[in-house]
Structure 1
Amino acid sequence: MSILFSKEKDKKIEKRYINEKVAIFIDGGNMFHASNYINIKIDYRKLVNFLAKDRWLLRAYFYTGIPQGDFPEEMKKQWKKQKSFLNELKNIGIKVRTMPLKKTPEGFIEKGVDILLATDMLSLAFRDAYDTAILVSGDSDYIPVVEEIQQLGKRVENVSFKKTSSYELRNVCDKYMILDKYIDLFTYVDKQIELKKQPKITFVDKIKEILKNIIKGNKK
């Protein structure tokens, strides 16, 4: 007897492709604002592995703006931290791509980072360097480049946090993922919290453990 209706009829089946090549493009500014909002620290090595899964990874790219030339004294400490962070990304194999910050009356802002990311996505697609692009951003400005890449026969997956996610961008991509559901899989563990979770061993517990070891020794 055939089943005409099923409770799982709306369950989405994820298609897997043989020897699928993926490239990951991370919008650093977008991720920075989202992770700050929910107060987490991202382990990018874990994030890249989580997104690539068992697929063949061409490379992961990280895009951000950096200060150049003369900049205020208060930015120097911040830049020192950022430089150390970017060096860490390079050490784990993530390609860091940067653009100089633009000075405005309101302060320094990122300018041209999204264009650099979009250009790399398109360029690598034209060269047939990947089958699937994983765009880690919630910025709807990427919609035109996503559609162009799809016209080249490539797939685009969108990954973002709920806070910065664009419905329009998710809708145009072949697949999307909201990272809030998987935070434990790619964030640094707070060692202080882990220590608090561990049960305290009392003096009585230590005595019991010593006696238990003595009894085991005597039985042998």
Structure 2
Amino acid sequence: MIFYKEERLAIFIDGANLYGAARSLGFDIDYRRLLDLFAKKGRLIRAFYYTTLIEDQEYSPIRPLIDWLDYNGYSMVTKPLREYTDSQGRRRVKGNVDIDLAIDALEMADRADHILLFSGDGDFKRLVEAIQRKGVRVTVVSTIKSSPPMVSDELRRQADNFVELAELSPHIQRMNAPNRTVAAPATAPETEDGDGDEATPQASAYARTA
């Protein structure tokens, strides 16, 4: 990783994407350790965390994590995830936080020297290009060691730096965490584009606090 002490750093975490990447590598993230790690790399000015919440759900398993992050140095951005049944009777969900992350990152690019994007979503390639045109470096954190890889090749090529999440794990994983088997819901709802990624964390152990 290439960092300079004088750099103003900003962190943008795609919650569902980072959760999926860490789960594929078999570890849980300690978000306090993550924040501490990058606070030592430069002048950390803001850390954003983006996630969706199922609308009208009486209790969300991710709520404890959201509350903990909100009180411990992260700026939380949440959006309702609306469930519905399509014409073929399949449960689907609609909603994501990509546009919120993109807008915030572009605004923060005027105040930062280096942006860290914790996501492997190829849709962010154009966002990275736009940030770079402002003279800001972008580091993408994800993994190519999962099967299949969690980061798109286009996003990885566009970034100034790529950090392999597996290599970060000794510095950001939860210590002495019990072994767990994370089960998907019996009938996993699908996102509007059919990939199901946004819904899975809502029915998992995604909400563990650090």
**Structure with greater proportional helix content:** 1
CA RMSD of aligned residues (A): 2.1
> Could you tell me how far 1:186 is from its partner in structure 2?
0.8
Q: What is the percentage of aligned positions where both structures have the same residue?
A: 33
Distance of 1:83 and 1:90 partners within structure 2? 10
> Could you tell me how far 1:104 is from its partner in structure 2?
3.3
Distance of 1:27 and 1:65 partners within structure 2? 10
Deviations 1:14-51 (A, max 9, x none): 76546210100000010122222333211011112223
Q: How many pairs does the alignment contain?
A: 171
Distance of 2:91 and 2:38 partners within structure 1? 34
Larger gyration radius, structure 1 or structure 2: 1
Who is 2:32 aligned against? 45
Distance 1:55 1:108, change over 3 A: farther
Distance of 1:16 and 1:142 partners within structure 2? 22
Do residues 169 (structure 1) and 136 (structure 2) align?
no
Distance of 2:73 and 2:94 partners within structure 1? 24
Unaligned runs of 5+ in 2: 180-210
SS state at 1:184 partner:
helix
Distance 1:147 1:82, change over 3 A: same
Contact 2:83 2:94 (C-alpha < 8 Å) held by counterparts: no
SS state at 1:37 partner:
helix
Who is 1:179 aligned against? 165
Residue type matched to 1:88 in 2? W
Name which of 74, 91, 95 aligns with 1:111: 95
Who is 2:182 aligned against? none
> Could you tell me how far 1:108 is from its partner in structure 2?
5.2
> Could you tell me how far 1:102 is from its partner in structure 2?
2.5
Higher relative contact order (CA 8 A, sep 6+): 2
Distance of 2:24 and 2:177 partners within structure 1? 21
Distance 1:177 1:191, change over 3 A: closer
Do residues 135 (structure 1) and 121 (structure 2) align?
no
Matches within 5 A, 1:31-110: 31-69=18-56, 71=57, 76-77=58-59, 79=60, 81-105=61-85, 106-107=90-91, 109=93
Distance 1:67 1:57, change over 3 A: same
User: Given the two structures, how large is their TM-score scaled by the length of structure 1?
Assistant: 0.71
Residue type matched to 1:182 in 2? L
Distance of 2:133 and 2:66 partners within structure 1? 33
Task: Identify the range of structure 1 (16-25 vs 132-141) with the bigger mean alpha-carbon deviation.
Answer: 16-25
Contact 2:53 2:80 (C-alpha < 8 Å) held by counterparts: yes
Contact 1:24 1:48 (C-alpha < 8 Å) held by counterparts: no
Contact 1:101 1:108 (C-alpha < 8 Å) held by counterparts: no
Distance of 1:115 and 1:191 partners within structure 2? 33
Distance of 1:16 and 1:27 partners within structure 2? 21
Distance of 1:95 and 1:173 partners within structure 2? 23
